[in-house]
Amino acid sequence: MKEQRGTFRTIIQFAQDCKLKFILSVVFAVISVAGGLVPYVGVYQMILLFFEGSPSPDVILFWSGISALGYGLKLIFYGISTTLSHQSAYQILENIRFAIAQSLMSAPLGEVQSHPSGRIKNIIVDRVETIELPLAHMIPEGISNLLLPAAVFLYLIAIDWRLALAALICIPLGAAVYGVMMKNYNTQYAAYMEASNRVNSVIVEYIGGIQVIKAFNRSSGSYEKFADAVDSFKQFTLNWYQSTWKLMNLGGAVLPSTLLGILPMGMLLYLDGSLTPAELTLGMILSMSITAPVAWFTVAVNDWKSIEYAVKDINELLTLPSLPDTARNVPLSSYEVKLENVSFAYNKDGGDVLHDINIRLQEGSFNALVGPSGGGKSTIARLIARFWDVNGGSITIGGTDVRKMPLAQLARMISYVTQDTYLFNCSLLENIRLGRPGASDQEVMAAAEAAQCGEFISRLEGGWSTMAGEAGGKLSGGERQRIAIARAILKNAPIVILDEATAFTDPENENKLQNSIAMLTKGKTLLVIAHRLSTIKHADQIILIHQGIITASGTQQELLEGSRMYLDMWRAHIGAKKWAATGKKVTEADSTEALDIGAGGSVDADRRKGVMAGA
Ligand code: ADP
């Protein structure tokens, strides 16, 4: 597990490339504050003129000009400071999002999958966004709100230190009120975030499951759950508000009331002759400029809290463990894949899913994994592609442990086609090009034609440039799978893994696609996971997996003769096929036929032809 950083350190870590902008933002904020003080000096000078009884229009105009200039400087530099801080904040947001994406890419697949996709989206999009506003405003506003009262305070001291102290009397009073109000702030805020997350997940579930809700006419029951969650969140927020509003308003009234102290103290000092009327007036005006900054701090505390929680969520993804990677490509002697004494568990408490697995997939050979569902077939395929690391034993390709080669090299070597084809929201052409990003349009189209995609793509209004999002709903499972196969054809990797890759294929395209698969897998080290056993009957090696253990392996002929379980599976399969075709029950003769099937020797491409139909 990577180190979890605190809020401040996390933000600083992502602010490295915008350090200069941050510093400039601070400098300009300071200039802006200095500019903001000028009008006070100008006003003081004008007050003096009036009290001295010699206000000439020229001098008044001069000080008005100076004040306006100071105010103008304040606005301009505040504007620049805010622009820079916004740019920095967005840069930080971008850096955080890239870092999360990187963290997800380098984490074992299981780690990523253990976070619901709604939660990941919520963190990358919404939670990261939460920190922008406070972050962008924290610097210019924080600087002015810290420096301005400090400068005003010094100015007040210069007039009379007693007046200065009196101006601050409201701060301990207001702070005491806020202190009482915020007694349970941390626990309340944590409960608020929990309630907010709860309502989020109910909403995601409601929207995500809307098809099932409609199909089973469960709208009223599901809506109730949704409405309850929204209502209880509202209730929670209201209760929190109600428990604090009196103190919040009292604090809000007391904290900025600098006149509370300065007025009586100023009068006393004026009466005993320590202050001139001009100084008293200036003191009162100055003290009022402290009020807004002081009130800002209450907002800042809340903002910081929201940043703290957002960073906590962000860190949840940033600190995912990553699969160790190496940089240097490894020269391989062959594309033989070997699993030696492999054991694996998805999670420590769940127990081993694979036990002491030994498999050798010779270079260029056709291998099949079969067995009851949940036996561990897909797990083996995922381990070869190194979506996870094995817990015991090793997986080697061409004699090199997959953990010792760069993930990128491994990814280049393997085409892994599964049942669920994910389409990215770009054109179908680009979706296929993912197989080999440098491929030309012609190459992509040729691969797509080979995978029998051409016919359905030409039916779409936008053709090749149809966005997958638009087409997604219109594409059948089989069509999506053909896109995945086109990607793999384009990639042309030396090791091909087909995990139920063509389970949804429509019968009318079955034969054509068989040819494409045969082409795709020709000469490759091929591993097929299949339910339809007739499609893998010509494999060089069939491996039967049951409950994470290899119970038999060999050719179809050997398994039919040597494994009761395989024979039963084969009979069931042939029975299902016959039943589907004729409505007849399986007979003894069928299993004899089964025994005969494996005997024929056929050329490599023909043997691999059957793969698609059942894979
Ligand atoms: P098969 O492909 O033979 O149907 P799998 O390899 O998919 O079997 O699954 C083997 C076992 O591992 C099953 O018990 C399954 O529930 C479990 N399993 C599969 N994927 C995960 C996962 N991501 N996290 C935890 N357990 C899993």
Question: SS3 sequence, 378-389?
Answer: HHHHHHHCCCCC
Question: Distance of CA 177 to CAs 250, 261, 294, Å?
Answer: 7, 17, 14
Q: Say how many Å lie between the CA of residue 340 and the centre of ligand 1.
A: 20
Q: Say how many Å lie between the CA of residue 379 and the centre of ligand 1.
A: 6
Q: 113, 343, 344, 346: which to mutate for ligand 1, most atoms within 8 A of CB?
A: 346
Question: Binning pLDDT at 50, 70 and 90, where does residue 509 land?
Answer: low
Instruction: Check: CB of residue 47 under 8 Å from CB of residue 19.
Output: no
Residue nearest to atom 5 of ligand 1 (CA): 376
Q: Say how many Å lie between the CA of residue 374 and the centre of ligand 1.
A: 6
| Helix spans in 371-476 (H) | 377-384, 407-413, 428-433, 441-450, 454-459, 468-472
Q: What is the largest CA-CA distance in the chain?
A: 124
pLDDT of residue 471: 59
pLDDT of residue 470: 65
What mean pLDDT do residues 379-392 have? 93
**Identity of the residue numbered 67:** S
- Write out the H or E segment, with its range, that includes residue 496: strand 495-499
Q: For residues 311 and 6, give the distance between their C-alpha atoms in angstroms, rounded to a whole number.
A: 8
Pocket residues for ligand 1 (CB within 6 Å)?
110, 113, 346, 353, 373-379
**Within this chain, do residues 410 and 266 fall inside the same structural domain, yes or no?**
no
Q: For residues 147 and 78, give the distance between their C-alpha atoms in angstroms, rounded to a whole number.
A: 13
**Identity of the residue numbered 432:** I
Mean pLDDT of the chain: 84
Q: Sheet holding 400-401: strands in order across?
A: 354-361, 337-344, 392-397, 400-401
Does the pLDDT of residue 77 top 70, yes or no? yes
Q: For residues 72 and 102, give the distance between their C-alpha atoms in angstroms, rounded to a whole number.
A: 45
pLDDT of residue 585: 46
Does the pLDDT of residue 118 top 50, yes or no? yes
Q: Say how many Å lie between the CA of residue 472 and the centre of ligand 1.
A: 27
Residue with the larger pLDDT of the pair 377 and 457: 377
Indicate whether 10 belongs to any domain: yes
**Within this chain, do residues 45 and 111 fall inside the same structural domain, yes or no?**
yes
**Within this chain, do residues 415 and 544 fall inside the same structural domain, yes or no?**
yes
**Within this chain, do residues 300 and 404 fall inside the same structural domain, yes or no?**
no
> How many domains does the chain divide into?
2
**Within this chain, do residues 273 and 393 fall inside the same structural domain, yes or no?**
no
Residue nearest to atom 23 of ligand 1 (CA): 110
Q: Which atom of ligand 1 is nearest to the CA of 109?
A: 23
Strand 525-529 relative to strand 495-499, pairing: parallel
Which CATH number belongs to the domain containing residue 295 in this structure?
1.20.1560.10
Indicate whether 120 belongs to any domain: yes
pLDDT of residue 608: 60
Instruction: Check: CB of residue 496 under 8 Å from CB of residue 435.
Output: no
What mean pLDDT do residues 358-371 have? 95
Indicate whether 109 belongs to any domain: yes
Q: Which atom of ligand 1 is nearest to the CA of 376?
A: 6
pTM for this structure? 0.69
Residue with the larger pLDDT of the pair 247 and 218: 247
What torsion do the CA atoms of 286, 288, 291, 292 make, to the nearest 10 degrees? Answer: -90
Indicate whether 151 belongs to any domain: yes
The proportion of the chain whose per-residue pLDDT surpasses 90, expressed as a percent, equals 36
What mean pLDDT do residues 272-300 have? 83
Does the pLDDT of residue 531 top 60, yes or no? yes
Coil, strand or helix at 289: coil
**Identity of the residue numbered 134:** P
Instruction: Check: CB of residue 446 under 8 Å from CB of residue 432.
Output: no
Q: What is the pLDDT of residues 402-411, one digit of tens each?
A: 999 998 899 9
Does the pLDDT of residue 612 top 50, yes or no? no
**Identity of the residue numbered 161:** W
Which residues, in sequence order, are bridge partners of residue 527?
367, 497
**Within this chain, do residues 24 and 116 fall inside the same structural domain, yes or no?**
yes
**Within this chain, do residues 263 and 412 fall inside the same structural domain, yes or no?**
no
What mean pLDDT do residues 436-444 have? 91
Q: Which atom of ligand 1 is nearest to the CA of 372?
A: 3
What mean pLDDT do residues 273-286 have? 88
Question: Binning pLDDT at 50, 70 and 90, where does residue 487 land?
Answer: very high
- Write out the H or E segment, with its range, that includes residue 341: strand 337-344
Q: Which atom of ligand 1 is nearest to the CA of 379?
A: 6
Question: Binning pLDDT at 50, 70 and 90, where does residue 279 land?
Answer: confident
Cβ neighbours, 10 Å, residue 311: 24
What mean pLDDT do residues 528-536 have? 85
What mean pLDDT do residues 281-306 have? 81
Q: For residues 536 and 544, give the distance between their C-alpha atoms in angstroms, rounded to a whole number.
A: 12
pLDDT of residue 512: 67
C-alpha closest to that of 291 among 259, 256, 260, 263: 256
By CB atoms closer than 10 A (0-12, 13-18, 19+), residue 63 is buried
**Within this chain, do residues 399 and 343 fall inside the same structural domain, yes or no?**
yes
Q: For residues 602 and 594, give the distance between their C-alpha atoms in angstroms, rounded to a whole number.
A: 16
Question: Binning pLDDT at 50, 70 and 90, where does residue 602 land?
Answer: very low
Instruction: Check: CB of residue 366 under 8 Å from CB of residue 539.
Output: yes
Q: For residues 346 and 354, give the distance between their C-alpha atoms in angstroms, rounded to a whole number.
A: 10
pLDDT of residue 2: 60
- Domain around 552: 337-420+491-613
The proportion of the chain whose per-residue pLDDT surpasses 70, expressed as a percent, equals 89
Question: Binning pLDDT at 50, 70 and 90, where does residue 183 land?
Answer: confident
Q: What is the pLDDT of residues 569-589, one digit of tens each?
A: 998 888 766 555 554 444 444
Does the pLDDT of residue 384 top 90, yes or no? yes
Q: Say how many Å lie between the CA of residue 346 and the centre of ligand 1.
A: 8
- Write out the H or E segment, with its range, that includes residue 544: strand 541-546
pLDDT of residue 597: 30
- Write out the H or E segment, with its range, that includes residue 367: strand 366-370
Indicate whether 238 belongs to any domain: no
What mean pLDDT do residues 247-267 have? 88
**Within this chain, do residues 143 and 292 fall inside the same structural domain, yes or no?**
yes
Question: Binning pLDDT at 50, 70 and 90, where does residue 423 land?
Answer: confident
What mean pLDDT do residues 102-120 have? 84
